[in-house]
Amino acid sequence: MILAPYLLFLGDAPDALAAKVAQGIRDWRPEASVGQLRLPGCQADMGLPEMTVAQGVAAGAKTLVIGVANRGGFISDAWIAVLREALEAGMDIASGLHNLLRDVPELVEVAAANGRVLHDVRVPSVQYPIANGVRRAGKRCLAIGTDCSVGKMYTGIAMEREMLERGMKATFRATGQTGILITGGGVPLDAVIADFMAGAVEYLTPDNEPDHWDLIEGQGSLFHASYSGVTMALVHGGQPDALILCHEPTRPHMRGLPDYQLPSLHDVHEVGLRLARVVNPACEVVGVSVNTAALDGAEALACLAVIETEMGLPTVDPFRQGAGRLVDALG
């Protein structure tokens, strides 16, 4: 478990996009961060109080979270000095970088000497089981998409937020690095060994109270040539009662695959539901979540209206409009 609250390390982020992990934490768990720590030249800003390591510790920070991906994913000397200082001051460190904290001998040594933990959230820390497909109690909702990075994580978190505000029982279940850093736990599914993917999802979403909903973070797309196997494991391991279709209406081709057009929402509906019913015959597609960030307000409303008519399902941009109608649709 990654201990909160956090001090968000933005490093020398050249722009806001480089700090999108920090942005996700800031957007979705603003109360989790006591402040931000920026190095000279940093162009990202979460609008949090500027703090040194010492100030962060004084403000109660338990973990320094690396909220930035630097060029090439490596951990620079300028960073090491700060990370080292954080460990010595009593903080753990959490990172979703490809290059692992545990592969930096200096950090391993300083962490051990100070009894601190290095969380490389991209690496599974559990030996997951093979999936057994046994019917579980409780309800599960999974976001599936026409592509990668179309808003599946935001949809799940927004629904959890709405449900908790209504007094419903709900838990967002993170399956990617940013989601794990936002919530403090989860399964880094893209790093799990093939045979154990669906089992990892079962592990993440165990038996629960009959009226409890797990909101499972989706990954990839059943139609994405690179990552569809991961999506499939979510559909079968997740045993969903409800599917939400996620879409980004302005994308010219599948992310990273210039030769591939996006599937239609109808395609995703049909194939996703058919595969989900293998493990849960009662599964239904209940709504559509559209990321309209690239559209202005009027365009967004028009786009949502067209899709709602075409699909015959509640269609919202949860970031813009809230997830109320999607939660209503869970029934």
Residues lying near a copy of itself in the complex (CB under 8 A) are found at 130-135, 189-195, 197-199, 222-233, 235-237, 254, 256-257, 259-260, 263, 271, 274-275, 278-279
Of 238 and 318, which has the nearer Cβ to a copy of itself? 238
Q: How far is the CB of 74 from a copy of itself (least distance, A)?
A: 17
For the CA atoms of 300, 170, 241, 144, what is the dihedral angle to 10 degrees?
Answer: 40
Q: How far is the CB of 75 from a copy of itself (least distance, A)?
A: 20
Cα gap 321→158, rounded to integer Å: 10
Q: How far is the CB of 195 from a copy of itself (least distance, A)?
A: 4
Q: How far is the CB of 286 from a copy of itself (least distance, A)?
A: 22
Q: How far is the CB of 47 from a copy of itself (least distance, A)?
A: 33
Of 100 and 275, which has the nearer Cβ to a copy of itself? 275
Of 150 and 323, which has the nearer Cβ to a copy of itself? 150
Strand-pair partners of 266: none
Of 144 and 254, which has the nearer Cβ to a copy of itself? 254
Listed residue (27, 13, 10, 129) closest to 65, CA to CA:
10
Of 197 and 300, which has the nearer Cβ to a copy of itself? 197
Cα gap 93→78, rounded to integer Å: 16
Of 98 and 166, which has the nearer Cβ to a copy of itself? 98
Of 6 and 227, which has the nearer Cβ to a copy of itself? 227
Residue pair 261/224 in contact (Cβ under 8 Å)? The answer is no
The alpha-helical segments, DSSP class H, found in 225-296 are 228-238, 265-279
Cα gap 226→228, rounded to integer Å: 6
Helix axes 228-238, 265-279, angle to 10 degrees: 50
Q: How far is the CB of 120 from a copy of itself (least distance, A)?
A: 14
Helix axes 105-114, 77-88, angle to 10 degrees: 10
Cα gap 70→98, rounded to integer Å: 10
Listed residue (233, 207, 186, 234) closest to 134, CA to CA:
207
CA angle, residues 74, 115, 72, in degrees to nearest 5: 5
Q: How far is the CB of 264 from a copy of itself (least distance, A)?
A: 12
Of 38 and 224, which has the nearer Cβ to a copy of itself? 224
Q: How far is the CB of 256 from a copy of itself (least distance, A)?
A: 8
Indicate the residue type of 223.
F
Q: How far is CA 175 from the centre of its chain?
A: 6
Of the chain, the end-to-end C-alpha distance in Å amounts to: 32
Of 64 and 189, which has the nearer Cβ to a copy of itself? 189
Cα gap 67→65, rounded to integer Å: 6
Listed residue (268, 304, 269) closest to 284, CA to CA:
269
Cα gap 235→279, rounded to integer Å: 8
Q: How far is the CB of 279 from a copy of itself (least distance, A)?
A: 5
